[in-house]
Amino acid sequence: MFAEASPESVELVRGHGHEMGCHGYDHSPQRAFDSLRYEEQLKELKRAKKVIEDVAGRTESFRAPMLRINEDTVRALEKTGFKTDSSVASQRFDGPFTFGSERKLKWLLAPRRPYMISYDSVVKEGNSDILEIPISALFIPFIGTTMRISPSVTKMLRKFLFC
């Protein structure tokens, strides 16, 4: 984990007034949150959060590695004191090109604006305590897979989303 390997970098970023978020402890596909049981997710979140908070103080924001979460993640985030998540990429089309592709098909119709996540589906509004802040999208999301598959599409998205 980066915060463990380079705490001075975390302190530098925090010292410049930036919020520190959590990206989990392990980025390997075998430890993706959507493939872990609730108890394993809880353990992973507690471990990562402790490392970050020991260096940077209170941490309430989360984004899952590879953007892979499930309904258990919502409860695990609540239990560990997170308030926001930004792991849902609305209009996500990259399913066949990434891990967990079959689970991401339902994300095509996810809300594009912030919403409280449902306990029944992470891509639906509900009454959990976790505010989902979806990743920016125009007609496809601005995510790493898009960047790898089609750099020209990424340039176009950047022009519309960030100008």
Average pLDDT over residues 34-55: 94
- Grouping H, G, I as helix, E, B as strand and the rest as coil, residue 141 is strand
pTM: predicted TM-score of the whole model, two decimal places: 0.79
Q: Structural domain boundaries of the chain?
A: 2-90+111-136
pLDDT > 70 fraction of the chain, expressed in percent and rounded: 78
Q: Given pLDDT bands bounded at 50, 70 and 90, which one contains residue 159?
A: confident
Q: Which CATH architecture has domain 2-90+111-136?
A: Alpha-Beta Barrel (3.20)
What is the side-by-side strand order in the sheet with 21-22? 21-22, 61-62, 84-85, 131-132, 115-116
Output 82 or 161, whichever has higher pLDDT.
Answer: 82
Between 125 and 155, the higher pLDDT residue: 125
* 125 pLDDT above the threshold of 80: yes
